[in-house]
Chain A
């Protein structure tokens, strides 16, 4: 997991506040995935980003959630007006290039996750 740094590791917010989660892939990786793991549930895909571009956001809730990956700096997952149901672990991952060179068909490596608790 050393190739993907996430912070904060733990975040506590009150209902209605904003949560910002950051993901810094190791140098040379320009594609990141965000996944959410609700308590006692499996990992669900949220969004797949390339620098300055959202490739697939089919798993993102329609409201309050947004993600970006600017040219400089980490990828940010932003949750506005948090509710208790947003309490979960949020994981960022990078994908190695496959033997065919496609950026999203290789091995997936995860960060340690950011655990959001909404009071």
Chain B
């Protein structure tokens, strides 16, 4: 059964810093991995989707990498801004299972 963990659980950084969020999963037989952002009281916004055959995806200041063999993905946020403050979730879509979510990383970017 797929298990997904995320570290750190919470992160507070000053504006302008580059930062890395980590996601680990136990079963490498996956279709894809997706990163989301969730603002308080809101739904989930899709940030990046990486297919199992891909190594990374980029969108603006965001870059997500995937190392299937080691069961890891990282989300890199460049030049962080206060508007980036949110909870970031990774979700893994595995063979025979549906999307399994990690517990999230709560990011606070201080002005």
Which A residues have a C-beta under 8 Å from some C-beta of B? 1, 33, 35, 41-45, 48, 56, 59, 91, 93, 98-99, 102, 104-113, 115
Contacts and interface: CB of A to CB of B under 8 A. Distances in A.
A6 B47 CA distance: 21
B26 interface: no
A45 B99 contact: yes
A107 B43 contact: no
B98 A48 contact: yes
A98 B31 contact: yes
10 cross-chain pairs, A with B, having the tightest CB-CB distances, nearest first: A112-B43, A110-B44, A105-B31, A43-B101, A42-B103, A107-B49, A110-B43, A45-B98, A113-B43, A42-B101
Which size bracket describes the interface of B in this complex? 20 to 34
Contacts, number: 59
B46 A108 contact: yes
Contacts of A33: 98-99
30 contacts: A33-B98, A41-B103, A42-B101, A42-B103, A56-B98, A91-B43, A91-B44, A93-B44, A98-B31, A98-B32, A102-B31, A104-B93, A104-B98, A105-B31, A105-B93, A106-B32, A107-B32, A107-B46, A107-B49, A108-B34, A108-B46, A108-B91, A108-B93, A109-B46, A110-B45, A110-B46, A111-B43, A112-B42, A112-B43, A113-B42
